[in-house]
Every structure is written in structure tokens, then in C-alpha cells.
């Protein structure tokens, strides 16, 4: 028993071959489900045997997934000194050096610091020469 196909009409005044094609496909799906599913009160679905090819298609290539990515090495942690550890380049028993610029960074302050730390400098050396001598001696870090 074949059912009548639904007649939906033309929605919103739309017309054209694409609408007819969509309605044909939907009607075919309806017919297929109607044949395979049981009617109300009839019981089990209808078993359908579909023919399978006897010989597999020639030249078929099996599909496989690409090789998985190799695991990456974990990043090595950065070795940074603890904030409360003194810098190894500067001895801890030295007095605080004067600032390199601004208030308190004059020639006399640097001469006093060089004398206190035992850094030798020329008698006619300027502030920049004394700072360079302190850096060379390792009593202050280079900046």
C-alpha cells in the first residue's frame, strides 16, 4: 500500500526547482521509513536485506590516521637565585656603594667608597674612572 505524498504547497510564495527537489527527497525518506518501520500494533520492524558486492572494489586503499605526535620534552625550569640570596659577584661585607647618578653620586663619595673597599685608583681619576675600577675589582656589579 503506497501512501500519497504530502502536498505542502508553496511556502511564502517561493517557487523553483530546488523546492521540488527538497520535497522529493523528504517524500522518499518518508516512504523508506514507512516501509521499514512497523505500523501501529503490528510488532517488529521489517528486516531488509540489502545486497553487498561479492568482490571488494579494485584499487581501494584503506584509510588510516596519521601517526600521533611524539610527546614533547617538558620544559626545564629556569634556575634563578632566590631573592634574599646575595649576589655572588659582590662580597657581602662591603659598604653600600653610592648611587651612580643623582644626589650623593659625586667624586668624593666614590673616592670614599673605593678607599673603604680597598680599590686602587689614580689620584687624578674622575668619578667614571673610579666606578670602572670598582667594577674591575668586582666590588660592584657592572650595569
* CA distances to 73, 82, 85 from 76, in Å: 9, 17, 22
pLDDT of residue 32: 85
pLDDT at 92: 59
Q: What DSSP letter does each residue of 108-128 carry, written as one string? A: HHHHHHHHHHT----TT--HH
12 versus 44: the higher-pLDDT residue is 44
Q: pLDDT per residue over 68-92, tens digit each?
A: 777 777 878 877 777 765 555 555 5
On average, the pLDDT of the chain sits at: 77
Residue 92 contacts by C-beta under 8 Å, 6 or more apart in sequence? Answer: 86
**pLDDT tens string 5-29:** 656 555 555 666 777 778 889 999 9
* Total residue count of the chain as it appears in this document: 143
How many C-beta atoms lie closer than 10 Å to residue 117's C-beta?
17
Amino acid at each position: 500500500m503506497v501512501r500519497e505524498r504530502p502536498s505542502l504547497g508553496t511556502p511564502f510564495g517561493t517557487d523553483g526547482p530546488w523546492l521540488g527537489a527538497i520535497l522529493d527527497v523528504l517524500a522518499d525518506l518518508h516512504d523508506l521509513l514507512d516501509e521499514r518501520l512497523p505500523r501501529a500494533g503490528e510488532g517488529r520492524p521489517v528486516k531488509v536485506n540489502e545486497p553487498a558486492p561479492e568482490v571488494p572494489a579494485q584499487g581501494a586503499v584503506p584509510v588510516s590516521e596519521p601517526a600521533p605526535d611524539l610527546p614533547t620534552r617538558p620544559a626545564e625550569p629556569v634556575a634563578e637565585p632566590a631573592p634574599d640570596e646575595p649576589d655572588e659577584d659582590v662580597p657581602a661585607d662591603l659598604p653600600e656603594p653610592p648611587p651612580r647618578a643623582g644626589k650623593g653620586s659625586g667624586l668624593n663619595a666614590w673616592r670614599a667608597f673605593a678607599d673603604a673597599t680597598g680599590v686602587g685608583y689614580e689620584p687624578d681619576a674622575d668619578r667614571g674612572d673610579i666606578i670602572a675600577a670598582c667594577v674591575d675589582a668586582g666590588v660592584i656589579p657592572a650595569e
